[in-house]
């Protein structure tokens, strides 16, 4: 086992420093006298359907935005006529197979699955040195999945040369992605926002040196992501705010970063007057009890709001925390009966939950885009949102499409919530304007069309680069 771990370390370091493929399998790379014919043909034609490999190292559509992104983008790409194969690890993404999207499972050891997170796998579960690297990283307090998934994906794609026109990575940013062009695939990568932002917010909230050390170790993979991001040929992101932070935090050259807004499923997330509105209901989404989501500030605001509106209560789409700042705040203010947590609900149940709320709230300190804001607005539910990160790009102007408050300010949240509770006309006006804003700017079809433009640009760039190398080789001969 020690030798396997050492081999994993050395090989990963070699990939980091040189980009040389440590996992090359299958036939040799094609000679540099031209790109694969399908890619060249599509680069010149510009309108033919593409064969797309969409990588997803974490695809749960009910917990966090990455799974939502993979599901809806893949569906809309397929509806545009493209062939989409999602290559994913656990938790496997839920896809819309009826629209022709397929899933290829690329299993990890699934070390964080419930009900046994941080489990120790049996010796029979180990398949190769990548598995050993995954466990060793977990044992030392790190998060291995971006690295180990990238290595497995690289190996899988190298054995399937010619199967795709483009590979689209969804924020894995692992060393295995470096030098992808040598496998014959142009690469496009989506970075929703730099995870370094999450890391800093958790460090700021950490109490004691032991907790800070634990946070630093867990987020050790961000060093890898920064190195990889700087070497990627084409980066997509979901907002202008994220673009600025990717340039600033990750050091990616501005010309390589392109904004393609994502959005809401406006057919599903739509108003329905038949759904009764529950007096006093505030709804929010919090995929994890982390400082980034700002849930503790909303709980504190709820305590203030209930002084004027005793019916006010909060429904949180997410897992109930058993300990931590949110649980402590609920206990401190006696809100156990006024805060409900729901998880694992279906899409129609989620939509009806939002429709039935008097107010939707996004209390986050930072968001790279904020799908919950777009989805709430699409249902016509009036929104209170902070100005953290890219939220204003989605939610719009204070007093026109939402009520906007500074992040981390429970008093400002309470004031905005009380204002909406007291003004039915304002609720109706903000709800209607929010729906119109989403329809105009933030739909998944628009996101898919914008993404395809960058696929074709990446295919064309690789074809030109390969042609230039071939011309230089002929000139030397």
Which has the closest alpha carbon to 377: 463, 421, 295, 441? 441
Can you point out the beta strands (E) in 194-297? Answer: 235-237, 257-259, 281-285
Q: Which residue has the higher pLDDT, 287 or 387?
A: 387
* DSSP label of 402: B
DSSP string, 408-422: T-HHHHHHHHHHHHT
Q: Is the confidence at residue 50, as pLDDT, over 60? A: yes
Q: Predicted confidence band at 217 (pLDDT cuts at 50, 70, 90)?
A: confident
Q: Which residue has the higher pLDDT, 17 or 396?
A: 396
121 burial type by CB count under 10 A (0-12 exposed, 13-18 middle, 19+ buried): middle
**How confident is the model over 395-420, as a mean pLDDT?**
98
Q: Is the confidence at residue 14, as pLDDT, over 80? A: no
What is 281-441's CATH number? 3.40.50.2000
Q: Predicted confidence band at 40 (pLDDT cuts at 50, 70, 90)?
A: very low
pLDDT tens profile 410-467: 999 999 999 999 999 999 999 999 999 999 999 999 999 999 999 999 999 888 877 7
Q: Could you tell me if residue 411 is left (phi over 0), alpha (psi between -120 and 50 degrees) or otherwise beta?
A: alpha
Question: Which of 168-182, 204-218, 379-393 is predicted least confidently?
Answer: 204-218
Q: Is the confidence at residue 29, as pLDDT, over 50? A: no
Q: Is the confidence at residue 38, as pLDDT, over 90? A: no
Q: Would you state the pLDDT for residue 45?
A: 46
Q: Would you state the pLDDT for residue 64?
A: 57
Q: What are phi and psi of 58, to 5 degrees?
A: -145, 110
Q: Is the confidence at residue 362, as pLDDT, over 70? A: yes
Q: Predicted confidence band at 115 (pLDDT cuts at 50, 70, 90)?
A: confident
Which has the closest alpha carbon to 395: 375, 410, 415, 414? 375
Q: Predicted confidence band at 15 (pLDDT cuts at 50, 70, 90)?
A: very low
CA distances from 208 to 69, 117, 211, 372 (A): 36, 24, 6, 33
For residue 84, the number of C-alpha atoms closer than 13 Å in the C-beta half-sphere is: 30
Residue with tokens 């804001």: 373
Question: Which of 50-64, 307-321, 427-441 is predicted least confidently?
Answer: 50-64
Q: Predicted confidence band at 99 (pLDDT cuts at 50, 70, 90)?
A: confident
Q: Is the confidence at residue 405, as pLDDT, over 70? A: yes
Question: Which of 146-160, 190-204, 381-395 is predicted least confidently?
Answer: 190-204
- The structural domains of the chain, with segments of one domain joined by +, span 2-20+30-263+446-476, 281-441
Rounded CA-CA distance 58/172 in Å is 9
Q: Is the confidence at residue 32, as pLDDT, over 60? A: no
**In the chain, count of helices (H) and strands (E)?**
17, 13
Cα dihedral across residues 141, 143, 144, 145: positive or negative? positive
Structure tokens given for 214: 């634990």
Buried b (16+ CB within 10 A) or exposed e, 3-30: ebbeebeebbeebbeebebbbbeeeeee
Structure-derived torsion over alpha carbons of residues 153, 158, 163, 169, reported in degrees to the nearest 10: 30
Rounded CA-CA distance 287/92 in Å is 17
Q: Would you state the pLDDT for residue 61?
A: 60
Domains 2-20+30-263+446-476 and 281-441 share a fold: yes
Q: Would you state the pLDDT for residue 116?
A: 85
Within 8 A by CB and 6+ apart from 157, the residues are 53, 87, 164, 167, 180, 183, 185
Buried b (16+ CB within 10 A) or exposed e, 214-243: ebeeebbbbebbbbbbeebbbbbbbbebbb
Within 8 A by CB and 6+ apart from 211, the residues are none
Tell me the average pLDDT of the chain. 87
Residue with tokens 């050492």: 6
- Select the highest-mean-pLDDT range: 284-288, 325-329, 468-472: 325-329
**How confident is the model over 239-244, as a mean pLDDT?**
94
What is 2-20+30-263+446-476's CATH number? 3.40.50.2000
**How confident is the model over 169-192, as a mean pLDDT?**
92
pTM of this structure: 0.81
């Amino acid at each position: 086992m020690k030798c396997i771990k050492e081999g994993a370390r050395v090989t990963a370091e070699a990939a980091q420093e040189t980009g040389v493929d440590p996992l090359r399998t299958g036939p040799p790379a094609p000679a540099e006298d031209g790109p694969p014919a399908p890619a060249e043909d599509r680069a010149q034609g510009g309108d033919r359907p593409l064969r797309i490999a969409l990588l997803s190292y974490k695809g749960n559509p009910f917990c966090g935005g990455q799974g939502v992104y993979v599901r809806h983008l893949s569906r809309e790409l397929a509806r545009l006529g493209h062939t989409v194969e999602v290559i994913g690890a656990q938790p496997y993404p839920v896809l819309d197979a009826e629209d022709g999207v397929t899933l290829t499972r690329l299993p990890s050891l699934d070390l964080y699955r419930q009900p046994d997170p941080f489990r120790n796998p049996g010796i029979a579960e180990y398949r190769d040195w990548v598995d050993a690297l995954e466990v060793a990283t977990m044992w030392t307090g790190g998060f291995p999945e971006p690295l180990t998934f990238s290595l497995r994906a690289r190996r899988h794609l190298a054995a399937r040369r010619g199967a795709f026109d483009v590979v689209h990575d969804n924020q894995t940013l692992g060393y295995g992605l470096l030098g992808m062009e040598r496998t014959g695939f142009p690469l496009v990568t989506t970075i929703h926002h730099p995870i370094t932002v999450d890391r800093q917010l958790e460090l700021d909230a950490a109490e004691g040196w032991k907790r800070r050390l634990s946070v630093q170790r867990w987020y050790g993979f961000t060093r890898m992501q920064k190195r990889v991001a700087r070497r990627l040929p084409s980066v997509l992101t979901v907002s202008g705010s994220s673009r600025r932070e990717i340039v600033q935090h990750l050091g990616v050259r501005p010309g390589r970063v392109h904004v393609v807004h994502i959005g809401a499923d406006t057919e599903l997330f739509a108003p329905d007057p038949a759904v009764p509105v529950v007096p006093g209901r505030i709804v929010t989404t919090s995929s994890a009890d982390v400082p980034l989501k700002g849930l503790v500030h909303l709980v504190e605001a709820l305590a203030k709001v209930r002084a004027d509106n005793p019916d006010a209560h909060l429904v949180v789409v997410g897992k109930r925390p058993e300990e931590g700042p949110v649980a402590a705040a609920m206990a401190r203010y006696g809100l156990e009966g006024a805060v409900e947590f729901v998880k694992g609900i279906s899409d129609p149940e989620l939509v009806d939950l939002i429709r039935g709320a008097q107010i939707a709230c996004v209390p986050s300190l930072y968001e790279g885009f904020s799908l919950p804001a777009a989805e709430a607005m699409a249902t016509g539910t009036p929104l209170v949102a902070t100005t953290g990160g890219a939220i204003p790009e989605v939610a719009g102007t204070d007093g026109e499409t939402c009520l906007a408050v500074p992040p981390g300010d429970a008093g400002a949240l309470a004031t905005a919530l009380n204002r909406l509770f007291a003004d039915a006309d304002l609720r109706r006006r903000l709800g209607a304007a929010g729906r119109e804003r989403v329809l105009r700017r933030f739909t998944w079809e628009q996101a898919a069309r914008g993404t395809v433009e960058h696929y074709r640009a990446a295919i064309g760039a690789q074809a030109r680069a390969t042609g230039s190398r071939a011309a230089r080789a002929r000139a030397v001969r």
